[in-house]
Amino acid sequence: MNNFKGQWPKLDWDFFKEFAKLHNEVCMKKRTQQEFSEFVIRNKEKFNNPDYLQVFSENIELFNEEFYNANYEMCKIFYDFMQKNPDWNKFDFGLKTCIRLGSFEDSFKEFLEKQIRKKMLLKIFI
């Protein structure tokens, strides 16, 4: 298992704590979802380890197209990471987190496909 986790950069615990604290502040209404998304976008190069997915899984509103639209770039950062690193699901995150992340992966993929279909239809009618 040590070799398995070694395929990603070591988790930056200080950054992880900052990320988790921001999530908690959003939950307590001390910060906004927009601030959370902007933090992710500003620091996207730091989200290079599957452990960050645990905090993301608590932040997302599953099956919510409005949330996906409003937080598109943030969602895309984590979705792309999951697609490029399919072994993320071998981490022992616990059942709830794995279900939430799997549901996000499936529903965001459907959301992206729907966006592509809309663009194609617009091209046909324009």
The residue behind tokens 């950054």 is 15
pTM of the model: 0.91
The H-assigned helical ranges of the chain are 2-5, 13-27, 33-42, 53-59, 65-70, 72-84, 95-125
Tens digit of pLDDT for each residue in 27-61? 999 999 999 999 999 999 999 999 999 999 999 99
Tens digit of pLDDT for each residue in 86-101? 999 999 999 999 999 9
- Give the C-alpha separation, 72 to 68, whole Å: 5
Which two three-digit tokens encode residue 97? 């987190």
Q: Is residue 53 a contact partner of residue 82, using CB atoms and an 8 Å limit?
A: yes
- Phi, psi angle pair for 93, to nearest 5°: -90, -15
